[in-house]
Chain A
């Protein structure tokens, strides 16, 4: 699957793709929570969002790197 990212002959770690994907997913979740007004159902919103970013990041690595 995605092992390396090649841009103009330069090889980059696929993290340059994984991290933005995880960030976008986190932002979408935050937007959805805001629209649904579910923020008050979460105890510590900052902890939750950081944790969710880590989970999304791990999921992206697992799915896209062909483990």
Chain B
């Protein structure tokens, strides 16, 4: 009897080990988790829509700004002069149009009295229409000049924090060249790079637990989207337009990593998040 108890006890422990070992294997290999996650945020780059010297710089690096707040101003003398020129052009075009209208009205009366030819009347009618078109063109050019003048004052497109401000008063900046970035407030999210073998286990609105590398309280979130494409190096071509196919081992293949975006739920108070931080992500399984 004692012998059978000895065997039974050992066999029970072995069976428990098989079950426990299987659980650990499944937990590591067949559940959607990754240590390859990064905190991200909406980054808005700021560029001036007009070129010129920076005359005033109203912000500092790292400063919090509100949407619409003046960030910096570009020298507006050229744009003010252009606007004044456009206004004068518009005024001239308006007068030319009024003159053309006047001529046409007068000729119309003369034509009724058969004092001028039909051709003469038609000529003044067309001249009146040309003057009207010129006036419309001048108005549009004035609006464009006004827009350029308005755009010499660069305002924050979103509320957030200024990052990497290297712009200084007196710098010359080109049109459309980004000069710094704003990290949009409350726009933090997480992207986890999951092995492609785990992608079938991931779905939208799946709950996620997120642990920062810096420790502290775990964050929670839910899956927003699973990336539908990643770059394929085999599709690149050389300068003869031949495909550059990468060599691989037949026995050992690395699984690709697919980006999965996770929206964060309510953040704990006082948490310090920076875009680029490393996180570990565990997605809930049914």
Interface size class of A (residues with CB under 8 A): 20 to 34
Q: Given A42-B10, A57-B24, A58-B24, verify A50-B17 contact (CB < 8 Å).
A: yes
Assess whether A11 is in contact with B278, with CB atoms less than 8 Å apart. Answer: yes
Q: How near does chain A come to B86, taking the closest CB pair, in angstroms?
A: 59
Q: How near does chain B come to A55, taking the closest CB pair, in angstroms?
A: 5
Assess whether B280 is in contact with A42, with CB atoms less than 8 Å apart. Answer: no
Assess whether B20 is in contact with A57, with CB atoms less than 8 Å apart. Answer: yes
Q: Which of B9, B18, B211 contacts A43 (CB 8 A)?
A: B9
User: Contact string, B216-247, partner A, CB cutoff 8 A, digits 1/0?
Assistant: 00100000000000000000000000000000
The main secondary structure of chain B at its interface with chain A is helix
Assess whether A41 is in contact with B9, with CB atoms less than 8 Å apart. Answer: yes
Assess whether B13 is in contact with A52, with CB atoms less than 8 Å apart. Answer: yes
Q: Which of A3, A54, A62 contacts B35 (CB 8 A)?
A: A3
Assess whether B27 is in contact with A61, with CB atoms less than 8 Å apart. Answer: yes
Q: Given A3-B211, A4-B35, verify A42-B6 contact (CB < 8 Å).
A: yes
Q: Nearest chain-B residue to A15 (Cβ)? A: B28
B16: interface (CB < 8 Å): yes
Measured CA separation A39–B23 after assembly (Å): 28
**Contact residues of B with A, CB < 8 Å?**
5-7, 9-11, 13-14, 16-18, 20-21, 23-24, 27, 35, 209, 211, 213, 218, 278, 280
**Contact residues of A with B, CB < 8 Å?**
3-4, 6, 11, 13, 41-44, 47-48, 50-55, 57-59, 61-62, 66-67
Assess whether B20 is in contact with A54, with CB atoms less than 8 Å apart. Answer: yes
Q: Residues of A contacting B6 with CB < 8 Å?
A: 41-43
Assess whether A4 is in contact with B17, with CB atoms less than 8 Å apart. Answer: no
Q: Given A41-B9, A43-B7, A61-B27, verify A6-B17 contact (CB < 8 Å).
A: no
Q: Residues of A contacting B280 with CB < 8 Å?
A: 3-4
Q: Residues of A contacting B218 with CB < 8 Å?
A: 66
Q: Residues of B contacting A52 with CB < 8 Å?
A: 13, 17
Q: Nearest chain-A residue to B279 (Cβ)? A: A3
Q: Residues of A contacting B17 with CB < 8 Å?
A: 50-55
